[in-house]
Amino acid sequence: MLVISAVGIVNTILMSVYSRIREIGVLRAYGMTPRDIRRLFTLEGLALGLAGSCLGVALGAILDVLLIAGGIDMAAFAMGSLPISGFLRGEWNPKTMLIGFIFGVVVSLIAARIPARRAGRLEPTAALRFQ
pTM above 0.85, yes or no: no
Question: pLDDT-derived band of residue 130, with 50, 70 and 90 as boundaries?
Answer: confident
pLDDT at 82 over 80: no
DSSP string of the chain, one letter each residue: -HHHHHHHHHHHHHHHHHHTHHHHHHHHHTT--HHHHHHHHHHHHHHHHHHHHHHHHHHHHHHHHHHHHT-EEGGGG--TT----SEE-----HHHHHHHHHHHHHHHHHHHHHHHHHHHT--HHHHHH--
What φ, ψ does residue 87 adopt, rounded to 5°?
-120, 140
pLDDT per residue as tens digits for the range 43-63: 988 998 899 999 999 999 999
Exposed / middle / buried, residue 42 (Cβ in 10 Å: 0-12, 13-18, 19+): buried
Question: pLDDT-derived band of residue 131, with 50, 70 and 90 as boundaries?
Answer: low
pLDDT at 117 over 90: no
* Residue of higher predicted confidence among 86 and 61: 61
